[in-house]
Amino acid sequence: MAAFVLRRVLLMIPTLWVIATLTFFLMRLAPGGPFLAEKDIPPAAKAQLEKAYGLDRPLGQQYLSFLTHAARLDFGPSYKFPARQVREIIFEAFPVSLELGLWALLFATLIGVPIGVIAAVKQNSGADFAAMAAALAGVSIPNFVLGPALVLGLSLTLFLFPPALWEGPQSRILPVLTLSTAYVAYIARLTRGGMLEVLRQDYIRTARAKGLPERKVVFKHALKLGILPVVSYLGPAMARIVMGSIVVETLFAIPGLGRHLVNGAFNRDYTLVLGVVLFYAAFLMTLNLVVDIAYTRLDPRVELS
Amino acid sequence: MQRIALVLLATLALACAPHASAVRQTSSTGPRYFGDVTPPVGNVLTFTNGAEPERIDPGVISGQPDGRVARAIFEGLTTPDPRTMEPQPGLAYRWEISADGRTYTFHLRPGLVWSDGSALTAQDFLWSWRRVLAPETASRSAGLLFPIDHAQAFNEGKLENGMQLGLAAPDDSTFVVRLAAPTSYFLFLTQYYTFLPVPRRVIEKYGARWTNPGNIVSNGPFLLDKWRQGDRFEFVRNPRYWDAQSVKLDRVVALSVDDINTCTNLYKAGVADWNTSGNIPSQFIPYMRDFADFRAEPYQGVYFYSINLTRKPFDNPWVRRALAYAVDRETICRDLLKGARDPWGDLAPYGYPGYVNPPGQTFDPARARACLARAGYPQGRGFPRFAILFNTSEDHRRIAEAVQAMWKNVLGIDVTLANEEWGSYLQDATALHYDIARRSWIGDYLDPNSFLACFRTGDGNNRTGFADARYDAMLDRAATELDPGRRMAILAQAETFLLDQAPVIPIYRYRTSELVKPYVRGLYPTPLDTHPLKGVWIDHDWNRAPAVARR
Amino acid sequence: MSGAAPAFAPTADAGALASSSRPESLWADAWKRLRRNRAAVCSGIFLLALGLLAVSAPWLPGLANPTAQDLRLGATPPSSAHWFGTDELGRDTLARVIHGGRISLLVGLVGTLVSLVIGVSYGAVAGYRGGRTDEMMMRAVDVLYSLPYIFLVILLLVFFSRSILMLFVALGLVQWLTMARIVRGQVLSLKQQNFVEAARALGAGDGAIIFRHIVPNTLGPVIVYTTLTVPAVILQEAFLSFLGLGVQPPAASWGTLVSDGARLLALFPWLVIFPGLALSLTLFCFNFLGDGLRDALDPQDRREVS
């Protein structure tokens, strides 16, 4: 186990290096620089700014400098917000996105798994259809429609929750609801698929033949293996939700990581984008590792390769 | 199941909700208000500040959101009157202007201190203004200080022997400014954020990070307490401010929310007490007029299309005139923008004392076609395809689509739309990589020169390639003209000339469109959309006092 | 959000084929099962009808021009003149929805096609080659998986241009990774089969073996995944429109219509309800069809039924 973990951690390094290089050059190739605004900067001043940020050095040198600093987790100041260090911004925004994502996935799991189980147990019946239809509805209604609809209905008309910002427990409700709907569908579908496969297995037949009540068969024996696809999905989903919640973060003005990434790309904020991308990649790989370890705990048939 | 139920609930609520009119705390009879009108607990003002400021260092910033933050925590020689924007004594309690209009002597109040207790002297002003002009600071607003003697040369690093920057601090409480030529609006400039003093020791110690909470030292009515990236700024009152007893608010929160729908929602739900100008979707505005807390006042900003004269066929003035006469501003403003903006055919907005706006560009399809024919493209035949560039925004796009259709219908030419996000758009607009681009300009000070000076040959804010020595000469003559009436007349001439040459096609003049809760006092509509927070307070008894007209 | 990685059973094993009472091709059997799934059938019919409508849109009377403006009219609710109402520029919403469907479907199909071509080729080659080549190719996929895909797409669109062609390429490039993994998994198990040995014995080259023999046998899962990718791509384009990077005006996809309309929900709800319904129904149907196809093609189930 320890050897496995160590090997995976070591493998992360070359991957991160490739990602860093790819992103660095992609950002540099994109048109537009970071020092633009409606009020023009005199060319002397612009040259000065570029010098201060090292943008006047040859590309290779910039790249090496970036790598050496990144290895020390120093991504420098943000180009767009020079008073802030990229590291600071990430560490401030990450807990917000993490909390949002955790709540959303928790909610999605709590709703999605039962739906999937019901659908699997009553396969091809009306209940199956209804359950999957409801779950699919969640995927088919985009976030940026559901969000404003929820805000309009529950916040501006019924005054139940604040319409935006990330302050206080009630402010979590609407963003989490909006974000989780798509994931409910995926989790429901995965659960259904996983359960269907498990329920066909011989040992389930054995359990039934032994006269165990159906509920026990499903929940005590089948579910443990049936949710394996969900488990392996949750890892990357966690990482993706942290980034992909850009819509929700924009609609609800939540200071999360997804918003920083997209705004950074728009603003050509090289340092911030590089920092966030690397952070995301490392986070995703760590989550995958955790998921793989969890997988072995749940399914004794699976071995760590 | 849950989701369908939620969506149904929301739709039901939507069906029951009349347009934007839910009011929680009903005021008995009389004016209707937009949203919840319960005052906050305590003396706290929360407002939506729009896009997050990149920096809040007053010497280098530009933009309304940045300016609001800087003005809350710093104060300069003068402060603007909360209603008229006229310069009032700030840190300087009196000043003298020499007979030739070129020397200003400011006398600072005794006993001024920074928030860390150290003395604030005339040397601070000297150092701060020099810093703005220093080339290594790369301040975007350094140009505003160019009326100062030799400031431009200093900024460009071309200060020669014998040339002295026209700033002096003969003693701790006297600050002397010498201008290159008499500049009637100079006092106005002194309350602009670029002219605010900054603490030297702190900047030298912390460099770019001097504005972070914990490092920052300021001198204004409030102190920076908290800055959360992408979220908000929080200010608390400054006990060391020279006029601290006049400051009524205990706390100010500026929310960095860029989505205008969210801004409006926050105001409606009562989270924000003031939704600053421009943060209401324009489609809502016709419905907003029913509400007493909605304000739409004219202010000194113009929205126009910029033409790139370095690209054919736009170097031909007849082509430009044709395009200008084919734009129906009335229809755009009345039908598309639902009257939220005023159609405007001039470059400089009106309202400048003593300035008479020239007739301006109008919608004249016959004339437009004649101009195009004269340019060599009768009925638009042979006219190359070109694109209108704008940054991503619903309003810009709808206007561009309308103009696209107008040019097709009137002139018979085909136009495409190029939509880029802010960074790329600025890059292309600045580097003259566009055909026609959407642009806005907001006046920095109350004088038409603020708009006209942009189109001097080679000016950094020109961005059209317009270079006409005749125009520059007119502006130069105006700059040295001492008599205000004659000066305004020369400026009007210059503007007439510019509009006829048509490197720009003005479309509308801005109106503020802001929402202010009835319990917020001391916040008035102003022509420059600048609101000193010093005199603002929360009136918890607002609906018990008789309604007072505040215009 | 890209589609979840579906859990696929290994390909049809020869044993199951032999043990069924009536020898039937995989396809005929799958078709029968699909027909039984009413939801999938309805979805398929709806999508066909939609496709027809979308293709014929420019020739439909009264609906041909979605860009005709009438500024004086402005936004009006649904009426007999305009069944779906009009938007702020006075454009007929029904026409915009139908033309939007053309664009959304086109984007969905072409984007999926791009990802299909890249993904299948890549996965097939990796799976067939095996060994070091396979390892390296899949490592590359892992690396790409670690990049936040939104960012990739945004950069591509910002860097290159907003042309619709670039949009197709960008969207396709996001989805091919999962396809490659699926195909590779299939190919890995398939290449042990007898028919591959036979082809090799007959002297067929690697390329021919991969593309003429193996790939056709992976078609089952590929079809299913393709059907599930189209809605993901359409939704992705909608998301990009929300950011202002999708299809550019005056053309408008459902994504553009919906994200613009959502902002005006309080004032002009018809601007989001109708395109939203169209979009949601279409996504719904694609997903149902895809799920139905997966159930139909899943050989594990076959044993239960036949």
C7 touches chain B (CB under 8 A): no
Q: Where are the beta strands (DSSP E) in B135-190?
A: 167-171, 174-178
Residues facing residue B168 across a β-bridge:
B176
The complex's ipTM works out to 0.81
Give the DSSP H/E element, type plus range, for residue B504. Answer: strand B504-511
Give me the pLDDT at residue A279, please: 87
- Pair of tokens at residue C215: 């790939």
Highest mean pLDDT (candidates A102-111, A268-277, B393-402, C265-274): A102-111
What 3-state class would DSSP assign to A230? helix
Q: What residues in chain B have per-residue pLDDT under 50?
A: 12-13, 15-28, 549-551
Residue B275 in contact with partner chain A when CB distance is under 8 A: no
Q: CA-nearest residue of chain B to A150?
A: B10
**What residue ranges in B249-354 does DSSP mark as E strands?**
251-255, 274-275, 294-295, 298-307, 342-343
Task: Say whether the peptide bond before residue C250 is cis (omega within 30 degrees of 0).
Answer: yes
Q: Using a CB-CB distance cutoff of 8 angstroms, which residues of chain B are in contact with residue A145? A: none
Name A213's Cβ contacts closer than 8 Å, sequence gap at least 6. none
> CA nearest B22: which of B264, B348, B326?
B264
Q: How many CA atoms lie within 13 A of C236 on its CB side?
A: 29
pLDDT digits (tens, 9 = 90+) for B127-136: 999 999 988 8
Residue B424 at interface with chain A, using a CB cutoff of 8 Å: yes
Contact A253 B3 (CB under 8 A): no
pLDDT at residue C158, rounded to an integer: 66
Give the residue ranges of DSSP H helices in B47-185.
64-73, 122-133, 151-155
Per-residue DSSP letters for A26-44? HHHHSS--S---SSPPPHH
Taking the C-alpha atoms of residue B501 and residue B458, their distance in angstroms, rounded to an integer, is 17
Transcribe A82-134 into DSSP letters.
Answer: TTSBHHHHHHHHHHHHHHHHHHHHHHHHHHHHHHHHHHHHTTTSHHHHHHHHH
B422 to chain A, any CB pair closer than 8 A? The answer is yes
Q: pLDDT tens digits, residue range A31-83?
A: 555 555 444 556 666 676 677 667 777 878 888 888 888 888 888 888 878 88
Q: For A131-163, what is each residue's pLDDT tens digit?
A: 878 877 877 888 888 888 888 888 888 778 888
Q: Do B402 and C71 make contact, defined as CB atoms within 8 angstroms?
A: yes
With vertex at residue C27, the alpha carbon angle to CA C24 and CA C33, rounded to the nearest 5 degrees, is: 90
User: What is the spatial distance between Cα B153 and Cα B146, in angstroms, rounded to a whole number?
Assistant: 9
C46 touches chain A (CB under 8 A): no
C76 touches chain B (CB under 8 A): no
The pair of three-digit structure tokens given for residue B91, joined into one six-digit string:
């840190």
Which alpha helices (H) appear in B387-455, and where do they start and end? 394-411, 422-430, 449-452
CB atoms under 10 Å from CB of B350, counted, come to 14
- The answer to whether B60 and A48 have CB atoms below 8 angstroms apart is no
Alpha-carbon gap, residue B299 to B509, rounded angstroms: 8
Mean pLDDT in consecutive groups of 10 residues from the start of chain C, 306 residues: 39 43 65 81 90 86 74 81 84 89 90 90 84 84 72 69 75 82 80 76 75 74 85 87 79 87 85 90 87 73 35
Contact across the interface for B62 and A39, Cβ inside 8 Å: yes
Cβ-based contacts of A113 with chain B (< 8 Å)? none
Reported as a single tens digit per residue, the pLDDT across A182-209 is 888 888 888 888 888 888 777 777 877 8
Phi and psi torsions of B177, nearest 5°: -120, 130
Q: How far is CA A242 from the centre of its chain?
A: 3
Nearest to C1 among A190, A244, A266 (CB): A244
Q: Is C143 on the interface with A (CB under 8 A)?
A: yes
Q: Is A121 on the interface with C (CB under 8 A)?
A: no
Q: Which residue of A has its CA nearest to C291?
A: A189
Cα distance between residue B209 and residue B352, in whole Å: 39
CA-to-CA dists, residue C248 to A202, B404, C73, C157, C257, angstroms: 56, 14, 24, 12, 11
Subunits close to B (at least 3 CB pairs below 8 A) = A, C
Identify all chain B residues contacting A32, using CB atoms and an 8 Å cutoff. Answer: 423-424, 426-427
8 Å CB contact between C273 and C78 = no
pLDDT of residue A30: 64
Among chain C residues, the shortest Cα distance to B398 is held by C89
Predicted local confidence at residue A142, as pLDDT: 84
Tell me, yes or no, if B230 comes closer than 8 A to chain A by beta carbon.
Answer: yes
Residue C243 at interface with chain A, using a CB cutoff of 8 Å: yes
Given CB atoms, is A164 within the 8 Å cutoff of chain C?
Answer: no
* Chain C touched by A265 (CB under 8 Å): yes
Burial class (CB in 10 A: 0-12, 13-18, 19+), C188: middle
Please, which residues bridge with residue B537 across strands? B521
Q: How far is CA A18 from the centre of its chain?
A: 21
Give the number of beta-carbon pairs within 8 Å between B and C. 61
Identify the closest residue of chain A to B463 by CA–CA distance. A40
Instruction: Work out whether strand B514-516 and strand B520-521 pair parallel, antiparallel, or are unpaired.
Output: unpaired
Shortest Cα distance, chain B CAs vs residue C163, angstroms = 10
Residues of B whose CB is below 8 A from C260? 394
- What CATH number does the domain located at A86-256 have? 1.10.3720.10
C285 neighbors A169 (Cβ within 8 angstroms): no
B100 vs B182: CA distance, rounded Å: 7
Kindly state whether C257 is in contact with chain B, defined as any CB-CB distance less than 8 angstroms.
no
Strands (E), B262-319: 274-275, 294-295, 298-307
The alpha carbon of residue A137 is apart from the nearest alpha carbon of chain C, in Å, by 7
Beta carbons of B419 and C249 less than 8 Å apart = yes
The whole-number pLDDT of residue A83 equals 83
B26 interfacial to chain A (CB closer than 8 Å): no
**Cis amide prior to B313 (ω within 30 degrees):** yes
Contacts of C89 in chain B (CB under 8 A): 336, 398, 401-402
CA proximity to B168, closest of B214, B220, B117, B122: B122
pLDDT at residue B195, rounded to an integer: 94
Q: How many residues does chain A have?
A: 305
Chains that touch A (3 or more CB pairs under 8 A): B, C
Nearest-angstrom CA–CA distance, B249 and B226: 16
Q: Which of B19, B401, B402 sits opposite C267 (nearest CB)?
A: B19
- Closest residue by Cα to residue B502 from B536, B539, B535, B455: B455
Assign residue A147 a region (left: φ > 0; alpha: ψ between -120 and 50; beta: otherwise): alpha
Domain ranges of chain A: 86-256
A45 with B17: Cβ contact below 8 A? no
pTM of this structure = 0.81
pLDDT score recorded for residue B546: 56
Who among B12, B231, B269 is closest to A163 (CB)? B269
Binary contact (B417, C244; C-beta < 8 A): no
Q: Could C5 and A233 be called an inter-chain contact, meaning their C-beta atoms sit closer than 8 Å?
A: yes
For B408-443, the pLDDT digits (tens) are 999 999 998 888 766 668 778 888 889 999 998 888
Main-chain dihedrals φ then ψ at residue B80, nearest 5 degrees: -80, 145
Among B212, B246, B219, smallest CA distance to B117 is for: B219
CB contact under 8 A, A156 and B268: yes
Whether residue B430 and residue A36 make contact (CB cut-off 8 A), yes or no, is: yes
* Residue-level pLDDT at B532: 93
Task: Give dist(CA C295, CA C286) in Å, integer.
Answer: 14
Neighbors of chain C with 3 or more C-beta pairs under 8 Å: A, B
Cβ-defined contact of C266 to B19 (cutoff 8 Å):
yes
In sequence order, the 6+-apart residues with CB closer than 8 A to the CB of C74 are B335, B338, C86, C88, C89, C90
Q: Which two tokens stand for residue C123?
A: 């996965």
Contact check, Cβ <8 Å, C146/A281: yes
